[in-house]
Structure 1
Amino acid sequence: MKYVAEIPVRLGSKRVPKKNLRLINGKPMVGYAIEACKGSKYISETYINSEADIMKKLCDDYGVQFYKRKDELAEDHIVQDQFNYDFLLNVETENLVMVNPVSPLVLPEDIDNAIKYYEENQLDCLISVREEKLQSFFDGKPLNFSDQALLPMTQTLKPVQLCAWTVCIWNAKKFIEHYEKHGYAVFVGNYGLYPFDPVRSIKVSTEEDFKLAELYLSAKSANAEVTPEYYE
Structure 2
Amino acid sequence: MSANFLALILARGGSKGIPKKNIKILNGKPLLAYTIEEAKKSKFIDRVVLSTESEEIAEVGKRYGAEVPFMRPKELATDEASSIDAIIHALNWLKMNEDYWPKFTVLLQPTSPLRTVKDIDGAIEKLLEHNAESLVSLCEVDKHPFWLKKIIDNRVVPYTEEGQHITRRQDLPKVYSLNGAIFIAESILLVKERSFYVGRTIPYIMPKERSVDIDNIIDWHLAEILMKERD
TM-score normalised to structure 1 length: 0.85
Equivalent residues in 2 for 1:191-206 (5 A)?
Answer: 191-206=201-216
Partner of 1:44, secondary structure, is strand
Equivalent residues in 2 for 1:169-184 (5 A)?
Answer: 169-178=184-193, 184=194
* 4+ long deviations beyond 6 Å: none
**Which residue is 2:11 aligned to?**
9
User: How has the CA–CA distance of structure 1 residues 192 and 208 changed in structure 2, closer, same or farther, with 3 Å as cutoff?
Assistant: same
Q: What amino acid does structure 1 have at the position aligned with 2:218?
A: E
User: How has the CA–CA distance of structure 1 residues 26 and 124 changed in structure 2, closer, same or farther, with 3 Å as cutoff?
Assistant: same
Partner of 1:4, secondary structure, is strand
1:159 and 2:161 are equivalent in the alignment = no
Write out per-residue CA displacement over residues 113-161 of structure 1, whole angstroms, 9 at most, x where no aligned residue: 01011111222111111212654256734459521x3x34222322222
- Structure 1 window deviating more from structure 2 (68-77 vs 192-201): it is 192-201
Partner of 2:8, secondary structure, is strand
- Distance in 1, matches of 2:195 and 2:144, equals 31
Write out per-residue CA displacement over residues 165-184 of structure 1, whole angstroms, 9 at most, x where no aligned residue: 10110100111222xxxxx3
Aligned match of 2:113 in 71, 79, 104? 104
Cα offset, 1:90, TM superposition: 2.0
- Distance in 2, matches of 1:220 and 1:94, equals 34
**Which residue is 1:34 aligned to?**
36
TM-score normalised to structure 2 length: 0.85
User: How has the CA–CA distance of structure 1 residues 59 and 214 changed in structure 2, closer, same or farther, with 3 Å as cutoff?
Assistant: same
- Distance in 1, matches of 2:185 and 2:88, equals 11
Q: Once superposed, what is the RMSD of the aligned Cα atoms?
A: 1.9
Aligned match of 2:223 in 206, 213, 223? 213
- Structure 1 window deviating more from structure 2 (86-95 vs 112-121): it is 86-95
Which has a greater percent of helix?
A: 2
- Structure 1 window deviating more from structure 2 (55-64 vs 211-220): it is 55-64
Contact 2:32 2:61 in 1 (8 A): no
Contact 2:33 2:61 in 1 (8 A): no
**Which residue is 2:124 aligned to?**
115
Contact 1:34 1:46 in 2 (8 A): yes
1:69 and 2:72 are equivalent in the alignment = yes
Partner of 1:199, secondary structure, is helix
Equivalent residues in 2 for 1:180-191 (5 A)?
Answer: 184-191=194-201
Q: What amino acid does structure 2 have at the position aligned with 1:186?
A: F
Gaps of 5+ in 1: 179-183, 222-232
Partner of 2:63, secondary structure, is helix
Larger relative contact order (Cα-Cα within 8 Å, sequence gap ≥ 6): 1
Gaps of 5+ in 2: 95-100, 151-157
Contact 2:22 2:31 in 1 (8 A): yes
